Structure 1
Amino acid sequence: MAAPATTTAPPARAVNTSAMVAALCLSGTVVALQQTLVVPLLPDFPEILGTTTGNASWLVTSTLLVGAVATPIVSRLADMIGKRRMMVVCMLVMVAGSVIAALRPNFALVVTGRALQGFAAALIPVGISILRDELPREKVPSAVALMSATLGIGGGIGLPASGLIYEHLGWQAIFWGSAAIGVALIVAVLVIVPESAIRTRGRFDYLGAVLLSVALTSLLLAISKGGTWGWTSERTLGLFLVALVILVVWVPFELRVNQPIVDIRTSTRRPVLLTNIASLLVGFAMFGNLLATTQQLQLPVSTGYGFGTTVVVAGLYMLPSSLAMVVFAPVSAGIIRRSGAKITLIIGCLLLAVGYVARVFLTAAVWQVILGATIVSVGTAIGYAAMPTLIMRAVPITETASANGLNTLLRAVGTSTSSAAVAAALSSVTIDVDGATLPSLEAFQDIFWIAAVASLVAAAVAFALPPPQRLAAGAGISEPAKAVPDGEVKGEGREHEIVVRGVVLHDDRRPIRHAVVSVLSTEGESVDWSRADNDGSYSVVLPGPGRYIVVSSAEGWAPRSEILEFTGAATKQHIRLTEPLSLCGTITTGGRPLGQALVSVTRPTGESVATVRTDLAGHYRIPVPPTGRYILTVVDPHTQWVRSRQVPIIAAQSNTVDIDVESDDLSAAARHVLPGVGL
């Protein structure tokens, strides 16, 4: 990999933050529109396109699959080559897909166009990352909350809007409209949104991207089509097996590659891992509300609990829940600022559970169904608002897009699983109405109970998140990095940000892989951190010039901390770790140094760890092994006497074990007399 660049961010141009937030949130709404665009048309598409009902479902499945695969790849590229650039690329692909789908009533072309529209799914994580880079810190929570809510907002608007357009202008007008919106947003993003100078350098992980794409496609295809093909069919089980095998290969590969498509080490950190698990569960719970509500509203009145509405009317009934997400986006930001992102996520999950329990019993009237659906949407809005904040607080600033991309991907896995679960429940618990087999009320109640349980589990996962880092009393704000309480992402004063790059080196100038570099303000508040790649390269983002505490650590090395002064002109900072951690000591005999003695370390299970000889002063030194208990054996080169001692090792520090052969011999004899007495 090429040496890290030494350039700093150019002076930021004047940005209309309100216009930028509006443009990015509209882009996020487009994502949800692509997911619900064709839902009202699915019953008619078999006739329009001359295909079967099963084939017509690919108009939804193809968008879902491509969106899931594209999100982590586009997000990683956004961190590497530019966030605005990748947003524009995604929208260009979406516009191309819309035009292809609108050209003619050909099934293959429409499916191809729908697949290309799936690229829009990456707009939300990339847009959230842009908000972090460009907005003043105090405005980030509310903007992120609003953009997170756009997924539900667009979904609620898309159902009635596409139905109305289809009835009055025809099915192709839906795709032409999508293309026109995409073109308008491309212009808006190019004019309004600045390109972030915060980048992750390195080479793109092509093989990792291919492996992840195949694994995700196999997994989501099995989940999406399992109900149609049969969950125990060879095709479904084969796809699950392919996904499992590839993931087993992919994870170790990502741990070794220099610039992984997904940073496994960062993703398995407790805050990131638990937030992603909660995202999957909330995505599962949220999507059940959309699917079940529209179907319940459309079922015949003769079922005893249906309301016989059309698709368009059912979509209009969903508007209150969509508007609730708009209203509660700023409320969510206020909760984050006052109570922290962790508490906000717990509140959102608990509201989801309350809403679904209410839905079990509120079935007698349309207003009751709308009320239950709206409570669920409020919980979704609050929960979704907290997740990007939790992610951005726990990952390096240079990886915010890719980290949010993974979080968005897991939401998609949750929604896909929810879709399969809803379909299974509605098809397995049925009643006969006028000769037709329809879902029973108990089927919907089962869905609501399952979603409520998923919401409670998500709340429990959120509760297990580590507590936020609190500030010491009296922390001043005159330092370069101000306080960063829970609920606020790292970094402020975006126009003065400095990207610092460098290499973590051995004392002999060889790079140290996977070292961790943490930057603190002089008051002790966290600023940013980075994990060095295989070439020892790291990068951190500072909110401005000034003095910072830089703490560096790596496995097998004593940590180093220093206070460094950074200016806008100096952005390359190499770090040297000079003290390797070791197991060391002195071997003596009768108090005299024992030179050339053989010192061997083995595990209690028999494996050899290391063998060295002492110098003329009797000193030995061995790289510190992993934490555990070991057998240290000493061989006197003159008498060939052998002595062994069990020693505990702590890998995070150097360990000193001195042995006098003669006194150790006496201690060994004493142990024969007094079993159980240790050295």
Structure 2
Amino acid sequence: MTSPVLARPEVRSSRGAFAALLCAVLSFSLLQTMVIPALPDLRAEFHTSSSVMAWVLSAFLLTSSVGTVLLGRLGDMVGKKRMMLVSLAILGLGTLMSALAFSAEMLIAGRAVQGLGAATFPLAFGLVRDIFHRDQVPVAIGTISAVFGIGFGVGLVIPGPLLDHLGWQWIFWVSLIAVAIAFAAVAASITETPVRRPGRIDWPGAILVTAGLAAVLLAISQARAWTLPAIAALLGCGAVALVVFVMVERRASEPLIDLSMLGRRPVLGANLVALLIGFGLYGAFSLVPQFVQTPTSAGYGFGATPTESGLFLLPMALTMLVAGPVAGWLGARSGSKRTLVAACTIGVAGFAVIAAGLDCAWIIATGAGIIGVGVGFSFSSVVNLVVSAVEPNETGQATAVNTIVRTLGGSLGAQAAPAIVTSTLATGTSFPAESGYTTAFIVSAVVMAAAALVLPVVGIPGRGGMARRRRNGSWSYPAGNSR
């Protein structure tokens, strides 16, 4: 069954819809990181331990994997605008719960509800493909990807002044205002599109993939807090659940995730690269603020306040804003594969600059700006590769899986980077040695280089190779590009 052909929308309505999608993506991406600078204040406020506070991040991560899959699939079935509004409503509810939290447990519950709104990201890509003319899609996806990355970085900058002058609750009140604006904008500016993939929810598959992803992500997020046997058992249970999920999906008449779609080489390759990029890029977001806030008594660092440390990431946010749309424009002309190779190469350069200049503030800021170009290019190019390799009615689940894979990579990076940094102590202090940061940034550079080298191996087609057509109910690619 082919998808309906959509008429090109009027420019005015397209601009309004695009602005609404940017608001939706930004409102979610901010919440991923805004809470990180507030963790010390929250720990003191609720008189609890660091291990309990870790659940403020882990709960969000776990439920986001569930929400991304289920709501992304429902968007393909019943309408992407409708499910976008549901996602934003859930996001707003969780944010309100977090702002009103009177205990660590209530805050963790609020963060868990927030995570269910993660489908805003894949749904936004699906709506772009449904609403816009195909020539506009790469740049639109590039801009949305850039805004997502900007929100991730700016989320580390905004909390500083809020914590200094208003209190931790205002992190969530500001976020709630952003979510409310996004909800109103989507409701008013976007018309539901007719692209559908009729069916029903495969509940056995949903339960299995939820259990598998939750177990794996939980094991990763708690790797430094729990014992090795507990982590190994959790990873084993997660792996078993995911294997059974694959077996069930292969036999299901209406699977939750079309495994044959994920097996297409462009989709499989893009997801593998997304995993590596997620791992490699996390170091910039997490380690730069930690490094610059280190007191100078440790023999390095700048003793920066939370507000000042956020300024080191400001160049990254600015370059991402420009890089995302540029990547979409370049991808439409020379192919997203080439743009993605460039993204990884630029990321390598950025991490190398920071690793070589940790004693100089302006070099760190410059390196962050270079990495921002790599982030903007990579987020845009990966999604464009996925979107161009699937049918319009598969966009929701395809981009949802890609988001989850990048989350898995980021989760691994979130554990690996601090472990590398803390592997050695500075002489005569309780702080990590500066060499630990240097090593961590070099590891990120190596992973980004590996992502660039993987691209030719996994056989992602270049420009023209993504052109495809339905023939006798099966996928076919131009000569020279394998399925």
TM-score interval, normalised by the smaller of the two chains: over 0.9
Q: Which letter maps to 1:296?
A: F
Deviations 1:268-325 (A, max 9, x none): 1111111100001001111111111111111111233311101111012211111100
Question: 1:299 is matched with which residue?
Answer: 294
Return the alpha-carbon distance in structure 2 between the equivalents of residues 384 and 104 of structure 1: 33
Q: Which moved more, 1:239-248 or 1:161-170?
A: 161-170
Counterpart for residue 383 of structure 1: 378
The answer to whether 1:458 aligns with 2:455 is no
Provide the aligned C-alpha RMSD in A: 2.2
1:340 — aligned with what? 335
Q: 2:440 aligns with which of 431, 447, 450?
A: 447
Q: Secondary structure at the match of 2:148?
A: helix
- Quick one: distance in 2 between partners of 1:417 and 1:45? 24
Match of 2:126 among 104, 125, 129: 129
Cα separation, 2, equivalents of 1:201 and 1:94: 26
2:27 matches 1:34: no
Is the aligned partner of 1:227 residue 2:227? no
In 2, Cα distance between the equivalents of 1:195 and 1:428? 52
Aligned equivalent of 1:71, options 45, 68, 71: 68
Partner of 2:207: 210
After superposition, residues 79-94 of structure 1 pair within 5 angstroms as 79-94=76-91
**Match for residue 481 of structure 2?**
none
Measure the CA separation in 1 of the matches of 2:261 and 2:200.
19
1:283–1:414 Cα contact (<8 Å) kept: yes
SS for the counterpart of 2:347 is helix
User: What CA distance in whole angstroms lies between the structure 1 residues aligned with 2:458 and 2:450?
Assistant: 13
- Number of residue pairs matched by the alignment: 475
* Contact 1:34-1:120 at 8 Å conserved across structures: no
SS of equivalent residue, structure 1 residue 437: coil
- Equivalents in 2 of 1:170, 1:318: separation in Å? 22
1:617 equivalent in structure 2: none
Aligned AA (1:208): G
Q: Looking at secondary structure, tell me which structure has more helix per residue.
A: 2
Residues 315 and 369 in structure 2, CA contact (< 8 A), matched pair in contact too: yes
* Paired residues of 1:82 and 1:197 also in contact (CA < 8 A): yes
Alpha-carbon distance, 1:53 to partner:
2.0
* Aligned counterparts of 1:376 and 1:135: Cα–Cα separation in 2: 29
- Which of 117, 120, 127 matches 1:120? 117
Selected match of 1:101 from 77, 98, 102: 98
Answering whether residue 358 of structure 2 is matched by residue 437 of structure 1, we say: no
How far, CA to CA, are the matches of 1:45 and 1:156 in structure 2?
A: 20
CA contact (8 A) 1:100 1:110 kept: yes
Q: Which digits, 9 at most, give the CA deviation of each residue in 1:65-122, with x for residues without a partner? A: 1112211221111111111111111110111111112224222211111111112322
Matched, 1:402 2:397: yes
* Letter of the 1:151 counterpart: F
The correspondence for 1:168, drawn from 165, 168, 189, is: 165
Aligned residue number for residue 319 of structure 1:
314
Q: Distance in 1 between matches of 2:328 and 2:474?
A: 35
Distance 2:4 2:138 in 1: 26
The answer (yes or no) to whether the contact 1:84–1:195 under 8 Å persists in 2 is yes
Q: Which position in structure 1 is the counterpart of 2:147?
A: 150
Among candidates 182, 188, 192, match of residue 191 of structure 1: 188
| Counterpart-to-counterpart distance in 2, 1:370 and 1:414 | 24
Alignment CA distance shift 1:172-1:160 (3 Å): same
Counterpart-to-counterpart distance in 1, 2:52 and 2:248: 36
1:593 corresponds to which residue? none
Contact in 1 for aligned 2:8/2:132 (Cα 8 Å): no
Q: Unpaired segments of 5 or more residues in structure 1?
A: 471-484, 488-524, 530-549, 560-679
> Is residue 2:288 matched to residue 1:367?
no
Shift in Å at residue 415 of structure 1? 0.5
Structure 2: distance between partners of 1:138 and 1:8: 17
Question: Given residue 551 of structure 1, which amino acid in structure 2 is its aligned partner?
Answer: N
Paired AA for residue 133 in structure 1 = D
Answer whether contact 2:348 2:445 (CA < 8 A) is retained: yes
Provide closer, same or farther for how the CA distance between residues 8 and 124 of structure 1 changes in structure 2, counting only shifts above 3 A: closer
CA apart distance, 1:371:
1.1
SS of corresponding position for 2:199: coil
**Quick one: which amino acid aligns to residue 180 of structure 2?**
V
Q: Are 1:551 and 2:472 counterparts? A: yes
Which letter maps to 2:447? A
Tell me if structure 2 keeps the 8 A contact 1:162–1:174: yes
Greater share of residues in strand = 1
Contact map agreement 1:286 1:377 (CA 8 A) in 2: no
8 A contact 2:340–2:381 mirrored in 1: yes
Specify the alignment match of 2:135 in structure 1.
138
Gaps of 5+ in 2: 477-483
Deviation at 1:380, TM superposition (A): 1.4
Rg larger for: 1
Q: Distance in 1 between matches of 2:71 and 2:356?
A: 43
Pair 1:375–1:486, CA change in 2 (3 A): farther
In structure 2, how many angstroms separate the alpha carbons of the residues matched to 1:44 and 1:449? 31
Contact persistence 2:62–2:115 (CA under 8 A) = yes
Flag the 1:265–1:44 CA change in 2: closer, same or farther, 3 A. Answer: same
After TM superposition, the structure 1 = structure 2 runs for residues 222-301 of structure 1, keeping only pairs within 5 Å, are 222-230=219-227, 232=228, 234-301=229-296
Distance in 1 separating the partners of 2:3 and 2:143: 33
SS in 1 for 2:290: helix
Q: Report the Cα offset of residue 329 of structure 1.
A: 1.7
Distance 1:11 1:468, change over 3 A: closer
**Separation (CA, whole Å) in 2 of partners of 1:423 and 1:69:** 26
Alignment-derived partner of residue 424 in structure 1: 419
Report if aligned partners of 2:344, 2:449 keep a CA contact under 8 Å in 1.
Answer: yes
Deviation at 1:553, TM superposition (A): 5.6
Checking the alignment, whether the CA contact within 8 Å between 2:34 and 2:156 is kept in structure 1 is yes
Cα distance between partner residues in 2 of 1:43 and 1:49 = 10
CA–CA separation in structure 1 for the residues paired with 2:201 and 2:33: 32
The equivalent residue for 1:331 is 326
Contact kept in structure 1, 2:353 and 2:364, CA below 8 Å:
no
Q: Are 1:212 and 1:250, in contact at CA under 8 Å, matched by a contact in 2? A: yes
Q: Following the alignment from structure 1 to structure 2, what is the Cα–Cα distance between the partners of residues 443 and 222?
A: 24
The answer to whether the Cα contact below 8 Å between 1:66 and 1:119 also exists between their aligned partners in 2 is: yes
* C-alpha displacement of 1:13: 7.0
Q: d(CA) in 1 for partners of 2:419 and 2:211? A: 25
CA contact (8 A) 1:67 1:121 kept: yes
